[in-house]
Amino acid sequence: MPSFQEIIFKLKQYWADRGCIIQEPYDVEVGAGTMCPETFLRVLGPQPYRVAYVQPSRRPADGRYGDNPNRLYKHSQLQVILKPSPDDIIEQYLASLEAIGIDLRQHDIKFEEDNWESPTLGAWGIGWQVMLDGLEVTQFTYFQQCGGIDLDLVPAELTYGLERLVAFLQVKDSVYDIEWAKGVSYGDVRHREELQYSVYNFEMADIPTLWKLFGLHEGEAARLLAAYDPKSPEKRRFPLLPTYDHVLKCSNLFNTLDSRGAISVTERVGVIQRVRKLAVGVAQAWLDQQLVQQEVAL
Amino acid sequence: MSLPFLFEIGVEEIPDWMIPDALENLRVLFEKLEIPHESVTLDATPRRLVLRAEGLPARQADSQERVLGPAKSAPAQAVAGFARKQGVKPEDLTVETTPKGEYYGFIKKVPGRLTKDILAEALPGIILRIYFPKTMYWTGKGGPRFIRPIRWIVALLGEEIVPFELAGVRSGALTSGHRRLGAKEIAVTPADYVERLRHHSVILSAEERRNRIREGLAGVRVKPDPALLETLVYLTEFPTPIVGGFDPQFLELPEEVLVTVMRHHQKYFSVEDAQGKLAPQFATVMNIDADPEGFVRRGNERVLRARFNDARFFWETDQKKKLADRLPDLAHVTFQAKLGSYRDKTKRMMALVKELGGKTLAVRAARLSKCDLSTELVKEFTELQGVVGGLYARAQGERTEVWQAIYDHYKPESMEDAIPRHLAGRQVSLADKLDTLRGCFRVGLIPTGSRDPFGLRRAAQGVVRILVEGKIAVPLLDLLEGNQQLVAFFEDRVKFYFKDHRGFKYDEVNAAMAAGWSNLVDLEARLVRIQRLRPTPDFEPLAASFKRIRNILVQAGFTGGGAIDQTLLEPGPELELYEEFTRIAGQPIENAISKLRPKVDLFFDKVLVNAPDATVRQNRLTLLHTLLAEFSTMADFSEIVTNS
């Protein structure tokens, strides 16, 4: 029976063999692999790109102090982006399941409509949740818009829920019983983290401090965006990637504040819009900057 | 020669619920081509939309076209030029006489086009015109839009390919089998198409897939669920049902929760025991042929176990905090950005319940009605809102009327769904829906066309049904805050309800509503009376007379006022009508109609309303107006459409 890490190795190898760059997880907190610059920014513009990476995804409100066998504050997604999507993308995806030891002749696979949408990123796509014997194992999305911009090339995004997939393969009823490596369980590696972050997010996070941090990151992102000049001959030097990091910080702080019950109704929509405005701003500037870099390359 | 036509659009998995409408659309688009054919059959699986037609001609019939050339008086040079252009000799031209004079002409034979060419030209457009609620592009910005990427197209007229290209896909004779049980490329002809697909584990006919599921479940007491069956029929190409089980200990959880998990989250049928109680079993439908090792069954059982464990965990956690103690939490749950929180909504609902005549228990139910929105169970299973609140209220010792009112207050959720079982539940449901409608209309969130994100049509329809079927005789119009758009919105819903749902004739509904529709219980009673009166022999003639009266009054610009001056009444039909009217005034029209009708008929037969003497004329108009007003409290009978 392959371990958690062996399955990750196999999936990475599988997609590396199909032309994907294997990236490491992004080092700023995100709620989903989609938010990483490797997806959010790379899907913009006319450049083809293929990448795969495991991204720990933090959802403060989903924390359960390590008590619930299926729910995690932080879970791992294997994120695959194929831009543009190849015609046989579904066949390639199904073969990736075979590659990790799932005999599809003996299991039931269904593609059920599920269109993904992220209001904070101004992003949405069309697709399915992939059900394996009744278990959702992958979110499959054809991106249509990102940062409010229609995409030139339509990427396929595959998001594998790694804990679920491995629990399925290892026939475990609790994610904490998954074998991470030989003799080491998922619980050994991660349980303490689940407990402590749940305590922090639900009980101890200081609301005024988080709001202050939110304001600081928002201010820094907005300051930088305002300084971006599309006409500047030096614009390719402009630090849009660091700007985006501040947007991600805002997003994570928003989620934490939300799990803390600190965002009132009247504030909520407004705060989402503030983050969205920054994300859209970065996306537009990024697209503009990318075009100039192409010209330079020519 | 007559040819079969096979047209298959091969697509990545189409959302099941969109398929039947898309097929109907495809049929209409094909029929619009007006290519003669004997029969059309439509079929679909999640991966293909298929149109098959029999008896198409290889070529359309030839036709003739008259081409007019120069006038007969034109120089020979011009005539020769015309003939040359048409490819004939000048002596082959005929002379045609037209209203403008004599012209040279020519009957041109237009050979019928090849059906293949017509199809090749039209099919790409047909594909792209099939309507889907939400489409995507996949070949790049500006590319064609469809429900999901098109991966292959079969277009065969007889044995011949109808050639075209769409989204980089060339039409051909190759279909594709089941994703895991069939080959990726299969050559087909119109004759062997269905059997070739079957050989590659695709059952083309939805009816056959439906039957396969039914037969596979024969002997299992599955709770009938036609909507779920349809979903599964269009989610599979080779459906095979299997039955799994779960730990009977989970039966301690409310049945509503268990069924929702199975039905909505897992697309399982629930199973009953011989007594009709929920059994610790479920039935699921696979998209493969068999599960000999039990992998699929065990996989589904584990998923369900995890889901049930979650539900149990939520149920137990939620019990630690009473519904009543959750009220302050609602300040953090958005109802609608411009309309505040559910805490605000709850306050408004409580006031509305009182306004609707609700007693203490109904107000209590309104107070607790939205508290389940902060529970884990409802956050997880949103479709159980209300139901969960009701179950918790019961578990926490709330009175029967209170918990049932909470449980029921989202009802009716469709035209088929029942209304809340008791008065308190009806009042809470009305308050909830009316508050939503008033608020949304106030801030301009008004449904347009097919866009109705807040389900306002359904909410208004629910209000109408509860008022009528719950016999709640409150003046609806007084509850609409004088918002004319909302009044018009309700007017449409009331009409729809009585016409389409209750089957009253449209003119009866118009007639009854013209006499007022604020009290819907009263409106229904009047409609029933009209319906009963209508077949009686005096009804339609009297209705025709009323219409005549109204037209006379309108033409005369008469708006009422003044009393009838008896001294001006002419003896004979006019006086008799007046006397009959004074005898029957105040009686229900059912008693009066047979006496009134002959008098009215005679009046119109013998009396000239438009009398030369202005005072007499005025008096006659007053008489007619009084008569119309007396019997128009039940309905405006002039709205009735009569044959006469």
pLDDT by 10s per residue, chain A, length 298: 899 999 999 999 999 999 999 999 999 999 999 999 999 999 999 999 999 999 999 999 889 899 888 889 999 999 999 999 999 999 999 999 999 999 999 999 999 999 999 888 889 999 999 999 999 999 999 999 999 999 999 999 999 999 999 999 999 989 999 999 999 999 999 999 999 999 999 999 999 999 999 999 999 999 999 999 999 999 999 999 999 999 999 999 999 998 887 776 567 778 889 999 999 999 999 999 987 655 555 5
pLDDT tens digits, one per residue of B490-508: 999 999 999 999 999 999 9
Q: What is the pLDDT of residue B559?
A: 80
Same domain as A188, residue A279: no
**Domain end position, chosen among A200, A223, A253:** A200
First to last CA, chain A: 50
**Closest to B332 (Cβ–Cβ): which among A84, A115, A265?**
A265
Q: What is each CA distance from B561 to B461, B550, B622, B626, B635, in whole angstroms?
A: 39, 15, 7, 9, 21
Q: What is the pLDDT of residue B644?
A: 52
Contact at CB, A90 and B303, closer than 8 angstroms: no
**Closest to B287 (Cβ–Cβ): which among A109, A265, A269?**
A109
Q: How far apart (Å, rounded) are the C-alpha atoms in residues A90 and B45?
A: 17
> Which structural domain, as residue segments, surrounds residue A159?
4-200
**Domain end position, chosen among A177, A200, A223:** A200
Low-confidence ranges of chain B (pLDDT < 70): 643-644
Count structural domains, chain A: 2
Domain containing residue A263: CATH number = 1.20.58.180
Q: What is the pLDDT of residue A22?
A: 98
Q: Are B119 and B162 in contact (CB under 8 A)?
A: yes
Same domain as A157, residue A189: yes
CATH 3.40.630 fits B2-59+115-199, yes or no: no
Same domain as A106, residue A23: yes
Q: What is the pLDDT of residue A294?
A: 59
Mean pLDDT score of chain B, rounded to an integer? 92
What number of other Cβ atoms are within 10 A of residue B416's Cβ?
A: 6
**Tokens representing A289?**
């900057």
Q: How far apart (Å, rounded) are the C-alpha atoms in residues B490 and B484?
A: 10
Q: Are A40 and A284 in contact (CB under 8 A)?
A: no
Q: What is the pLDDT of residue B108?
A: 83
Same domain as A174, residue A236: no
What is the number of CB-based contacts under 8 A between chain A and chain B? 114
Q: Between B342-355 and B360-369, two packed helices, what is the crossing angle to 10 degrees?
A: 160
Q: Are A246 and A263 in contact (CB under 8 A)?
A: no
State whether residue B149 sits within 8 Å of chain A by CB.
Answer: yes
State whether residue B286 sits within 8 Å of chain A by CB.
Answer: yes
Q: What is the pLDDT of residue B365?
A: 97
**Domain end position, chosen among A151, A178, A200:** A200
Contact at CB, A142 and B138, closer than 8 angstroms: yes
Domain containing residue A15: CATH number = 3.30.930.10
Contact at CB, B295 and A106, closer than 8 angstroms: yes
- Domain ranges in chain B are 2-59+115-199, 64-110, 206-319, 338-376+400-528, 536-639
pTM as predicted:
0.81
Same domain as A213, residue A168: no
**Closest to B284 (Cβ–Cβ): which among A71, A106, A134?**
A134
Q: What is each CA distance from A141 to A8, A82, A92, in whole angstroms?
A: 21, 11, 14
**Closest to A70 (Cβ–Cβ): which among B141, B299, B306?**
B306
Window 109-138 of A, Cβ < 8 Å to B: 109-113, 115, 125-126, 128, 132-135
Same domain as A195, residue A123: yes
Same domain as A161, residue A78: yes
Closest residue of chain A to B46, computed from CA coordinates: A111
Same domain as A275, residue A186: no
Closest among B271, B244, B245, B248 to B259, alpha carbons compared: B271
Same domain as A35, residue A92: yes
Mutation to test the B interface, candidates A103, A110, A198, A263, most B Cβ within 10 Å: A110
Q: What is the pLDDT of residue A78?
A: 98
Which CATH number is associated with domain B536-639? 1.10.730
Contact at CB, A135 and B303, closer than 8 angstroms: yes
